[in-house]
Structure 1
């Protein structure tokens, strides 16, 4: 029956051929662990950023499909210490909420001080410095307002720190005093293990608490944040429990479907719900778009689906229903046109004429701000070469942009005169410290060259040279990295648009979570280094552009 109902629902949806539609994901590329809140007719989303800076992007929409980034919640060094953080550490799983004139974000800074809360009157910022919550241990904290009280729910260890099996976790709760900005009372155990402890469920996490029709609901992720990821739901007549799991859990998963289906969307979970002013419900959640057998370089992305309520329980996807790439817009009376710069085949161009960096850019850990300038030479990004490299857990000269699509390209032009073979500048496609490719300009025996390197293998310090070619000129050089799902191709040009292939068929799986591990997606980055040598050399970038070309979005 579930399969029939789900098939009828989506057949009806897609039969509405005259309806205006939007594309999933709504935030393409590395935008994991989404959280959403509504204030009147406005919607706000934030996502994880791990070891990148600034942290916690803030997105705004009035219709749930057209999104604009309006800032970053942690954009000051005093707020966020990423010193020595591994790329997949740092900021985990924020929750954003609004209550009586104040915005709240609760988040985890892993390996540092743990869980914290920040606040703002305006979601654009400025956001406050963190207030640390030492009693709230574990990860994935959520602040939720129910019955005019605030509660913090979160993932924590097994009872008494004695797990019955690997992945045995719990969901806990404290009441929270928003005036004193601290937890009060005793910690309450809400869920032990997951939906059915006897079946040894793993990694119950990402909890959110809300009330509807005299029931208290607790939605959580279960199964780990990989291919077996799911979203499950519990409910209770009391905010403190006991919470009973829905007998037809999970309410969202794709783990049982054929991996060989066309344009699969997988790894669904870590959801958050929002209700529209007219009583419709929607879920944002993370998912991945892999190629072949669960390989993806774009990381975990943010998707949107409707939530239907039946028999007192929320329903998202059931049976063999797949996450659709295209759906009718949620609020057709409001959406005049779908033009979401963060979804579909993304395009982005920056000519560096602004004196401020676009919100989409990311630095690797806390930036050395003196290494970057948009004003020294107007219309150019000046990037100072420094001894730090992308392989170290430091702050290299690195300005990153997320790979938004499985297929597409990033390109730039660079003016740079290396003083030695150690000096190199160009563009990375970067997953983590030990998993990246570097397309760059340098010199060999005093002659200018374009080079392609593979990051050093673990335990090594020297990168592997994959290709090198002499250049005819010391002037402007154009660089392009093309993503082709399972491979990358690297190009250069000494005259605009006169592209020459440096190397094709370079292994893309090297940059996937399945090979490299971690929780992040790949970034294209403007990057330069002197590889440990002191230098005063700078590289000038004239422009940067990105263009996606995924098959799923082609008309």
Structure 2
């Protein structure tokens, strides 16, 4: 049978997976986004359903002042003696911490801080001892892997020792420890997180080493395949299935534009089969991992796998008590800025532009190169006020199609912000009380349109403007995240705290894949 990669498209970096019976749970990094650490469930490792987030309360995660691409790095998810454990690092915040849950789809505990430096932590349970391993070094390029016993009740960490220095001596990170048939295995990510990324394996007789390197390291890397559609393959986590098969989840990017190319959907989660030969894991029969993978079978009931939640259409009419789980905020949402009222999402402005860290914006991951995203918006702006639909990488890299109030009425506009340059690409006078704002995406373009009344498929007068996705790509932004798309509202410049800004009412949000 076949399955398609990535199994979790859009920004889903640093995947970690654990199995409980016939159920698999997977979590990924979330950086500055809130809620933190999205959590997925599957029975076949291919079809993933979003079942919540591990960090849903400000007491667990306060990223209000977190820089872009700081925040939550590289979690490890494990299950032991009936309890789920998630350990991760708040970079730029409080360092390592662990949260627990008896039921992963319920509430997770308050964090317990772990007294150790570094990032990319892992937990390994062995014969009554819990080991914390992590990456640490004087610089990111000089990190090595360290291990120490840890008391998860108190957060106390014992004496540490260097566990692994890497096969090339640079960017040694993302350790995961396993025990397989009495032998201990260590997986690490090395080579940096871009085109030289790789997964490295080692084994030994103790979880504290010493470890011998696998003779065919790296066990996964696309560094020698610059034209392959999947690049930057690395940061893997192993899991076994009830049928005895083994699998690796790992991050990769789908690059566009040939070599060197670019990627704007972020680092995504991929899946590869694993064989064991001479006591070593062999990923994808030793070759590169393709977008379409042939395997004899998948775990589960053997049916055809369905697309994972991020790859499905989102059609939100805001008539429930909570937002669709696909939505996330850039940092903790400000009280009063977002509310569900009368079958609409009401957005209240807090800043003068999307360049500001506290802007009112909520979005879902762009998970397809070809897609359409639209909002049906009720908005009557005062001069200088604006609301619309935005594609956001961070505060310095975003595109938006919006409605802006002028002294003599409203205009529809498209704005591009790329680094230090901001420009309005197009403006058009519009009349009405409700509007449909649309972005049609392809691998090489975004097309922005506005229609008064919002009843048609496209704007009557054609697109307002276009923009190139590549300028929201990591190769330009330098970020660890990809593009999010969703509604926003901003206040007019110089508005007084005593003035009541105009709220925007989003009556419908739709995200539709349009890939052939």
Normalising to structure 1: TM-score of the pair? 0.88
Distance 1:82 1:389, change over 3 A: farther
Q: Identify which of 150, 156, 180 aligns with 1:176.
A: 150
Partner of 1:402: 365
Partner of 2:279: 312
User: Is 1:516 aligned to residue 481 of structure 2?
Assistant: no
CA contact (8 A) 1:299 1:522 kept: yes
Distance 1:278 1:536 in 2: 59
1:457-495 residue CA offsets vs partner (Å, 9 max, x unmatched)? 43x7xx421110111x22211011122112211111124
Q: Secondary structure at the match of 1:247?
A: coil
Partner of 2:114: 133
Partner of 1:286: 251
Partner of 1:390: 354
Distance 1:322 1:65 in 2: 15
Distance 2:224 2:312 in 1: 30
CA contact (8 A) 1:412 1:545 kept: yes
CA contact (8 A) 2:425 2:465 kept: no
Partner of 1:118: 99
Compare 407-416 and 501-510 and name the one that shifted more.
Answer: 501-510
Distance 1:332 1:314 in 2: 18
Q: Secondary structure at the match of 1:167?
A: helix
Distance 1:332 1:205, change over 3 A: closer
Distance 2:366 2:250 in 1: 19
Q: Identify which of 539, 543, 546 aligns with 2:504.
A: 539
Q: Identify which of 103, 108, 129 aligns with 1:149.
A: 129
Partner of 1:14: none
Distance 1:79 1:434, change over 3 A: same
User: Is 1:229 aligned to residue 229 of structure 2?
Assistant: no
CA contact (8 A) 2:353 2:490 kept: yes
Offset of residue 505 of structure 1 = 4.1
Equivalent residue runs for 1:307-456 within 5 Å: 307-317=274-284, 320-328=287-295, 330-331=297-298, 334-342=301-309, 346-374=312-340, 376-377=341-342, 379-387=343-351, 389-393=353-357, 395-420=358-383, 422-455=384-417
User: Is 1:30 aligned to residue 11 of structure 2?
Assistant: yes
Offset of residue 128 of structure 1 = 1.0
Offset of residue 296 of structure 1 = 1.1
Offset of residue 208 of structure 1 = 0.1
CA contact (8 A) 2:414 2:465 kept: no
Q: Identify which of 267, 273, 280 aligns with 1:300.
A: 267
Distance 1:547 1:440 in 2: 20
User: Is 1:487 aligned to residue 445 of structure 2?
Assistant: yes
Partner of 1:467: 426
User: Is 1:195 aligned to residue 173 of structure 2?
Assistant: no
CA contact (8 A) 1:146 1:210 kept: no
Partner of 1:214: 182
CA contact (8 A) 2:22 2:300 kept: no
Offset of residue 258 of structure 1 = 4.0
Distance 1:206 1:310 in 2: 24
Distance 2:312 2:306 in 1: 10
Q: Identify which of 259, 263, 274 aligns with 2:239.
A: 274
Equivalent residue runs for 1:18-167 within 5 Å: 19=1, 21-134=2-115, 136-157=116-137, 161=138, 167=141
Normalising to structure 2: TM-score of the pair? 0.94
Offset of residue 124 of structure 1 = 1.1
Distance 2:300 2:480 in 1: 37
Distance 1:318 1:341, change over 3 A: closer
CA contact (8 A) 1:468 1:502 kept: no
CA contact (8 A) 2:242 2:299 kept: no
Distance 1:319 1:177 in 2: 38
Distance 1:25 1:477 in 2: 34
Compare 332-341 and 107-116 and name the one that shifted more.
Answer: 332-341
Partner of 2:222: 254
Offset of residue 319 of structure 1 = 5.6
1:197-252 residue CA offsets vs partner (Å, 9 max, x unmatched)? xxxx3211000001112211000101001111100101111221111111210111
Distance 1:30 1:329 in 2: 29
Distance 1:435 1:45, change over 3 A: same
Distance 1:320 1:102, change over 3 A: closer
CA contact (8 A) 1:469 1:502 kept: no
Distance 1:503 1:247 in 2: 57
Offset of residue 335 of structure 1 = 4.0
CA contact (8 A) 1:271 1:284 kept: yes
1:331-362 residue CA offsets vs partner (Å, 9 max, x unmatched)? 3651434223436x532211111110111111
Distance 1:449 1:467 in 2: 10
Distance 1:332 1:221, change over 3 A: closer
Distance 2:296 2:395 in 1: 40
Distance 1:333 1:341, change over 3 A: closer
